[in-house]
C-alpha cells in the first residue's frame, strides 16, 4: 500500500510502518513554550520599532524594518502552530497553564503593537511608497496566520482552560480587527 511518504520520498518503501510514522507527535510543550518566547521576542522588536518610529522624518528603511519584524513574527506563528498540533494529547493542566501564561504575555505585546500602529497611522501616511498598503497587507497576513494558531491552541487546551483560551482569542481578534479596519 502506497503512502504519502512513499510519494514524497520515492527511496522510502511504502509500508504500514511508514504510514503510522506520519502520525507520531514530534513536538513537546517545551518546544511550544520556546516558540512563544521567540514570538514574544519578535513581537517586542516590532512593537519597539513602531513605538520609536518618529512622528516626522521617518524613513522608508525604518518602515521596512517593521515590515521585516512582522514577517519574522509570522514565521514563528506558523512554526508554533505546527508544534502545537504535534504535541501529544492530552496536555496536562500544569502544562496548559504554562502555555496560557505565554499566550497572555504575547497578547499584551500584540495589543501594544497594534494600538501603536493605529495611533501612528498619520505618521505612516506621510511616507510615500504605499506604506499604509503594506501595513494593511502585513496586518492581514499576520492575522491570517494567528487564527490557525488560536484554533490549534483551543483544540489542545485542557477543558479547565478552554474559557480562558477562548477569551484570549476574542481579545486578540478584537485587537487585529481594530488595526486592520484603521488601514482599510
Residue ranges covered by each domain of the chain: 26-182
State the pLDDT at residue 184: 95
- Mean pLDDT on 121-127: 92
Distances (CA, A) of 44 to 10, 36, 50, 85, 145: 43, 12, 10, 25, 18
Reply yes or no: is the peptide bond before residue 90 cis, omega within 30 of 0: yes
Residue 25: the pLDDT is: 62
Class of domain 26-182: mainly alpha
Confidence band, pLDDT 50/70/90 cuts, at residue 127: confident
The counts of H helices and E strands in the chain are: 8, 0
pTM of the model as a whole: 0.83
Amino acid at each position: 500500500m502506497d503512502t504519502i511518504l512513499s510519494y514524497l520520498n520515492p527511496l522510502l518503501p511504502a509500508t504500514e510502518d511508514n504510514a503510522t510514522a506520519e502520525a507520531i507527535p514530534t513536538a513537546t510543550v517545551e518546544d511550544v513554550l520556546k516558540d512563544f518566547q521567540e514570538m514574544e521576542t519578535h513581537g517586542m522588536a516590532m512593537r519597539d520599532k513602531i513605538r520609536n518610529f518618529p512622528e516626522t522624518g521617518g524613513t522608508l528603511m525604518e518602515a521596512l524594518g517593521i515590515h521585516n519584524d512582522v514577517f519574522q513574527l509570522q514565521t514563528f506563528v506558523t512554526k508554533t502552530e505546527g508544534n502545537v498540533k504535534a504535541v501529544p494529547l492530552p496536555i496536562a493542566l500544569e502544562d496548559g497553564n504554562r502555555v496560557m501564561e505565554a499566550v497572555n504575555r504575547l497578547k499584551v505585546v500584540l495589543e501594544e503593537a497594534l494600538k501603536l500602529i493605529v495611533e501612528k497611522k498619520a505618521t505612516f501616511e506621510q511616507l510615500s511608497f504605499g506604506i499604509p498598503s503594506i501595513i494593511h497587507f502585513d496586518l492581514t497576513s499576520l492575522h491570517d496566520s494567528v487564527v490557525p494558531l488560536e484554533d490549534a491552541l483551543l483544540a489542545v487546551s485542557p477543558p479547565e482552560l478552554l474559557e480562558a483560551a477562548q477569551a484570549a482569542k476574542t481579545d486578540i481578534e478584537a485587537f487585529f480587527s481594530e488595526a486592520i479596519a484603521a488601514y482599510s
